[in-house]
Amino acid sequence: MNITDRRRGTVFLAAMVGLGSGLGTLLRAVIERAYPAEVGEWPWSTFAINIIGSLLLGAVLESLAHAGADTGWRRAVRLCVGTGLIGGFTTYSTYVVEVDRLAQSGHSALAAAYAVLSIALGIAAAGIGIGVAAAAFSRPRPGRAEEGE
């Protein structure tokens, strides 16, 4: 592959990240505007967005790992969907602002619970996504003989 082809490939992949992140950010903005958190209340929209995003990212990355090496279309999907779409959709920067807002408004216990549960459940959700994708890839596919038969 010559340098011109590599540059085109890099531009294409960067465009995929941009496309995905634009869509993910738009989706998050729509959800957060539809379900805003009032001061002193649990920020449910950001909480759900981050947990769902963690679950999806785990499932996407595990699925791509089962599909083969991180090259070609798999790399493009990882960058567009994983880095772009899910990266734009999730928002740990807003999460930190919300933790601070809860603490500054006198809701320290709620802020601490939100901080800990967001991270713990995000990690658990990613693990569930990985587990579900791994299980889906380990099942025999219909119409295919089992190994050893």
How many Cα atoms sit within 13 Å of 67 on the Cβ side? 15
Helices 92-104, 108-138: inter-axial angle, 10-degree rounding? 160
Indicate whether 147 belongs to any domain. no
Indicate whether 89 belongs to any domain. yes
What is the number of other CB atoms lying within 10 angstroms of the CB of residue 69? 9
Question: Whole-structure pTM over 0.95, yes or no?
Answer: no
Model confidence at 90: pLDDT above 90: yes
Is 87 annotated among the ligand-binding residues? Answer: yes
Is 129 annotated among the ligand-binding residues? Answer: no
37-72, pLDDT tens digit by residue? 998 999 999 999 999 999 999 999 999 999 999 999
Question: Which residues form the domain of 98?
Answer: 3-138
Model confidence at 144: pLDDT above 60: no
Domain count, the chain: 1
Most distant CA pair in the chain, distance? 66
Indicate whether 125 belongs to any domain. yes
Indicate whether 149 belongs to any domain. no
